[in-house]
Amino acid sequence: MKPRSERIKPVSRIERNRERDAARALGDARQQLQAMQQQLDQLVCYRDEYHQRYARALTGLQRAGIEQYRRFLAQLDQAIEQQRQLLQQCQQNMDQCRAVWLAQRSRLKAVEGLIERLQAEEHKQAEKREQQALDERALQAHRRRPGPD
């Protein structure tokens, strides 16, 4: 029969794969969050530039042009708000992925710790059996030796 530490190793492999998958999902979530943040930054930058152009052009514009600028700024503000909401969702997703990864990493460490303890115990028991066998051989050799006459 296999030692307990060997029987538990497949569980360790499964947990290691799960931890790796969780780490990959966390990495993907981080990348998505960064992409969403970049999009938001670009929208805000574009809105700021457009607003500055609007402020400079305000004096020479007709009423229809001013209204068109305002509508476009309102659309940009709406797009920025939507992007912020998406960014918040991505942040929540990343936080959830991090929690899953941390939990999985903890499970993996627990299984690996159990395997190490079992291996140490198995090693200790093997040494004890070996010492008992040596003691038994020494005792039998002593018994076989002829005593003083």
pLDDT of res. 132: 93
Tokens (6 digits) for 124: 């200790």
Whole-prediction pTM value? 0.75
Q: In the prediction, which pLDDT does 45 show?
A: 97
Summarised one tens digit per residue, pLDDT across range 3-41 is 888 999 999 999 999 999 999 999 999 999 999 999 999
CATH number for the domain running over 4-143: 1.10.287.1700
Exposure of 23 by Cβ count < 10 A (0-12 exposed, 13-18 middle, 19+ buried)? middle
pLDDT for the residue 8: 92
pLDDT at position 56, please?
75
Which sequence spans correspond to the domains of the chain?
4-143
Name the phi and psi angles at 147, rounded to 5.
-80, 170
Helix ranges (H only) for the chain are 4-57, 63-144
Please list the ranges in the chain whose pLDDT falls under 50. none
pLDDT at 99: 98
